Amino acid sequence: MKMRQNFKISYSRISTYLFCPNKYKLVYLDNVYIPLSVDIVFGHIIHKTLERFHSLEKSSYDLLLECYDDSWRSDGFVNPQQVFEYYQRGKQMLENYYRSFKESNSEVLYVEKSFDANIGKYRFVGIIDRIDRYPDGTYEIIDYKTHVNVWGPEKIDKDLQLSFYAYACRSVFGFNPDKMSIYFLSENKKVYTTKSQGEISDAIDIAVSTSENIVAENFDPDVSKCHICDLKFKCRFCIA
Ligand code: SF4
């Protein structure tokens, strides 16, 4: 019962559980360490840079680069050449980002905005990368991605994360997002999607059923994913 009272779910916990229930147990209950990949470190750097930049009262490209340098960390990179290549990639990304930002007529309302919502008897927590407000009073939720591949519309339309964010906006912040986008920073391309009430309800049902399974300690391994699992060398059920 204690676990139930304290239990909080999040998008990353749900996606880990849906990938493999045993992976959830290893990561969140047994605290098995997953080494950070270079791409994850780079993603953290860019997110931190944009959080710092949008917290400033002024904006200029030089200030954005200062935020980049202040956010940079070299741990996780394998050699100086890789550090150089990723640094240059990030700089190009931010140059494109700044140009688009200056052309946009929206106001950045929130960056890295945390929420704590109720889903049934559980808590759902998360952080939304950015919420903008337009002059006509409409709102947009923006989720940044830093990997090189731009997802297709089908994958974006099925994305659970944006459905959760839409739910959080309505239930915690008190407004319905009029637009939702994934911003692929490597290509400086925003891809928009919409979420119907039915899609948001379906996503919340998934969150509740995943929470129920976790609280009931249903952690059966899904060995169909072992070949792409980053815990394959630390898992006794692995068949890959
Ligand atoms: S190695 Fe296979 S069984 Fe083990 S956590 Fe990963 S996907 Fe699950």
Q: Pocket around ligand 1: residues whose beta carbon is below 6 Å from it? A: 20, 22-23, 26, 221-223, 225-226, 229, 231-232, 235, 237-238
Check: pTM over 0.85? Answer yes or no.
yes
Confidence check: pLDDT of 121 > 70:
yes
The SS3 call for residue 65 is helix
Token representation of residue 116: 């704590």
Per-residue confidence band for 4, with pLDDT thresholds at 50, 70 and 90: very low
Buried b (16+ CB within 10 A) or exposed e, 55-85: eeeeeeeeebbebbeebeeeebbeeeeebee
Q: How far is the CA of 33 from the centre of ligand 1 (A)?
A: 14
For residue 228, the CA-to-ligand 1 centroid distance in Å is: 9
Percent of the chain exceeding pLDDT 70 equals 98
Which tens digit of pLDDT belongs to each residue from 157-168? 888 999 999 999
Q: Does 146 score more than 70 pLDDT?
A: yes
Q: Which fold has domain 2-234?
A: Lambda Exonuclease; Chain A (3.90.320)
Q: How far apart are alpha carbons 193 and 181 in whole angstroms?
A: 6
- Of the candidates 202, 240, 213, the residue with the CA atom closest to the CA atom of residue 22: 213
Per-chain mean pLDDT for the chain: 93
C-alpha 129 to ligand 1 mean position (Å): 30
Q: Which of 18, 30, 32, 223 to mutate to test the pocket of ligand 1 (most atoms within 8 A of CB)?
A: 223
Asked whether the predicted pLDDT for residue 2 surpasses 80, the reply is no
Pocket test for ligand 1, best of 23, 24, 30 (most atoms within 8 A of CB): 23
Question: Looking at residue 83, what is its pLDDT?
Answer: 96
177-199: pLDDT as tens digits: 999 999 999 999 999 998 899 99
Q: How far is the CA of 22 from the centre of ligand 1 (A)?
A: 6
pLDDT in tens, 124-133: 999 999 999 9
pLDDT (0 to 100) of residue 155? 86
- How close is the Cα of 171 to the center of ligand 1, in Å? 35
Return the residue whose CA atom lies nearest to atom 5 of ligand 1: 23
Quickly list DSSP for 6-18: H-EE-HHHHHHHH
Q: Which atom of ligand 1 is nearest to the CA of 26?
A: 5
